[in-house]
């Protein structure tokens, strides 16, 4: 099983990488020096929250996610394994391990894993594989906060209770930001796409954004608890909502799809290329409600958002990774409010510290974000009998985002 082999070594190397220690430097130390170094890293490890969210499942197996000190590995379609990681990564044998049979306490097939890093809260979302049945419908969320009891006897308010999902809809993406949960679902037959935002702790739906088919919504992510970034086939759209307003405590607020604050046009594709799919990813904090001291408040931990796009032509299948600093989004948001011009073209905003990287689609295996650091994993398929994965860490200067440095590349 993967969690017993590659994951321990991967976690170990990534811990050193995030801490700024070169792998070769560590390997040259004596056993006692290694132990001392690892003990010094204990506090750093607790604050790293190494890989936020479920966005790095391609790094190792199906259904793979990591929070501050818990690794979740999907063993079989009906089982999940929870590994409580020690502060010192000396081997997987030292970890406390528990195996949970999903079929013991859920209905339907597991959909995806969400991790609330700041509270060490693991949320499992699953959808009913028989939507016509009376047993369940839509998404279920389970609170696995208690490490002593892995079976969630207490079920948190399920998202499907807030806004029942008709049998004609299919959930395609979930995202959590503190108490706010977002669900992106498609209507069967191409009738439309719906983005629902709700407070999963209170069971209240805050807002619903219906998109027409022509918008071709591909993905979304949270900027903070009041701003959502939505990717379409041609632009990125910022929506604003406030789930604390009294009028949102009752019926959900219907936000028209055209009621965005700012539309940022995506970079133009080369002649003959078409956008096949896109995936937004952000390192958003998952704490209490953020104070509204600024028009566009962002936690200091939330600096970068990435958009991974798959583009194809007759002969090429490429992955474009658009790295967007949150200060750029803040500037675009402020400009739209001042001028009233909500649509910004690529030449107007895309040069403000953004980065556009290109890879072969089959080689790009994962993206992780931490503060001003972006980690990209590339798998070399040139030698089928000797395939290797390389992790490259880029660190961007927060003062001058245009200056970047490649910190390190390690081979896994």
Condensed to tens digits (0 to 9), the pLDDT of residues 105-147 reads: 343 344 444 544 443 344 455 544 444 444 434 455 554 444 3
DSSP three-state, residue 401: coil
pTM of the full structure: 0.64
* pLDDT at residue number 35: 57
Query: Is the domain of 152 the same as that of 227?
Result: no
- Determine the Cα–Cα distance for residues 302 and 81; give it in Å rounded to an integer: 29
Residue 335 contacts residue 344 (beta carbons within 8 Å): yes
Measured CA distances, 385 to 6, 99, 382 (Å): 18, 33, 9
Q: Final residue of a domain: which of 115, 130, 156?
A: 156
Give just the sign of the alpha carbon dihedral 146, 149, 151, 153. Answer: negative
Shared domain for 113 and 203, answered yes or no, is no
Confidence of residue 370 (pLDDT cuts 50, 70, 90): low
- State the pLDDT at residue 315: 83
Residues 175 and 239 in one domain: yes
Last residue of a domain, one of 156, 181, 207: 156
Domain closes at, from 97, 126, 156: 156
Cα–Cα–Cα angle for 402, 403, 405, nearest 5°? Answer: 135
Q: 309 is in which domain, residue-wise?
A: 168-412
d(CA 194, CA 149): 36
Same domain? For 150 and 177 the reply is: no
- Greatest mean pLDDT among 69-78, 100-109, 292-301, 349-358: 349-358
Q: Which residues pair with 404 in a beta bridge?
A: 396
The closest alpha carbon to 82, from 52, 47, 115, belongs to 115
Clarify whether residues 179 and 145 are in a common domain: no
Six-digit token string for 87: 């502060």
Summary mean pLDDT of the chain: 61
Domain shared by 148 and 191, yes or no: no
> Do residues 235 and 182 both lie within one domain?
yes
Q: Tell me: do 303 and 331 sit in the same domain.
A: yes
Asked if pLDDT for residue 260 goes beyond 80, the answer is: yes
Q: Does some domain include residue 146?
A: yes
**Does residue 51 sit in the same domain as residue 200?**
no
| pLDDT confidence tier of residue 397, bands split at 50, 70 and 90 | low
Q: In what order do the strands lie in the sheet with 262-265?
A: 219-224, 227-231, 235-240, 262-265, 343-344
pLDDT digits (tens, 9 = 90+) for 276-306: 778 887 754 333 332 322 222 223 345 788 8
Asked whether the beta carbons of 289 and 308 are under 8 A apart, the reply is: no
Residue 397 Cα distances to 285, 404, 405, angstroms: 20, 6, 8
- Total domains in the chain come to 2
CA pair distance 6, 242, nearest whole angstrom = 43
Given this model, what pLDDT does residue 263 score? 92
Q: Is residue 303 part of a domain?
A: yes
Q: Do 180 and 73 belong together in one domain?
A: no
């Amino acid at each position: 099983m993967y969690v017993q082999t590659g994951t321990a070594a991967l976690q170990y190397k990534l811990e050193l990488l995030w801490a700024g220690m070169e792998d070769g430097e560590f390997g040259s130390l004596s056993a006692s020096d290694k132990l001392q170094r690892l003990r010094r890293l204990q506090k750093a490890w607790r604050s790293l929250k190494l890989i936020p969210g479920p966005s790095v499942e391609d790094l190792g197996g199906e259904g793979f996610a990591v929070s501050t000190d818990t690794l979740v590995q999907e063993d079989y379609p009906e089982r999940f394994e929870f590994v409580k990681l020690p502060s010192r990564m000396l081997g997987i044998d030292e970890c406390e391990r528990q195996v949970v049979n999903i079929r013991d306490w859920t209905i339907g097939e597991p959909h995806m894993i969400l991790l609330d890093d700041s509270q060490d809260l693991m949320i499992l979302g699953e959808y009913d594989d028989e939507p016509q049945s009376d047993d369940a419908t839509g998404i279920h969320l389970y609170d696995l906060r208690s490490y002593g009891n892995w079976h969630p006897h207490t079920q948190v308010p399920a998202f499907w209770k807030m806004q029942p999902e008709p049998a004609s809809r299919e959930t395609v993406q979930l995202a959590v930001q503190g108490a706010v949960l977002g669900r992106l679902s498609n209507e069967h037959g191409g009738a439309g796409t719906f983005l629902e935002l709700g407070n999963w702790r209170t069971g209240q739906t805050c807002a619903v954004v219906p998109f027409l088919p022509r918008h071709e919504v591909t993905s979304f992510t949270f900027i903070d608890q009041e701003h959502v970034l939505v990717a379409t086939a041609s632009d990125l759209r910022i929506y604003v909502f406030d789930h604390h307003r009294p009028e949102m405590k009752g019926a959900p607020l219907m936000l028209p799809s055209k009621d965005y604050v700012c539309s940022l046009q995506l970079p133009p594709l080369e002649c003959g290329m078409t956008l096949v799919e896109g995936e937004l990813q952000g390192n958003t904090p998952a704490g209490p409600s953020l104070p509204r001291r600024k028009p566009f408040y962002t936690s200091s931990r939330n600096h970068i958002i990435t958009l991974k796009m798959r583009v194809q032509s007759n002969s090429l299948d490429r992955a474009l990774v658009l790295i967007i600093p949150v200060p750029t989004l803040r500037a675009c948001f402020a400009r739209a409010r001042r001028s009233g011009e909500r649509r910004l073209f690529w030449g107007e905003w895309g040069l403000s510290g953004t980065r556009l990287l290109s890879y072969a689609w089959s080689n790009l295996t994962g993206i992780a974000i931490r503060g001003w650091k972006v980690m990209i994993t590339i798998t070399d398929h040139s030698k089928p009998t000797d395939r290797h994965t390389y992790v490259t860490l880029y660190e961007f200067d927060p003062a001058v985002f245009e200056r970047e440095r490649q910190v390190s590349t390690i081979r896994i």
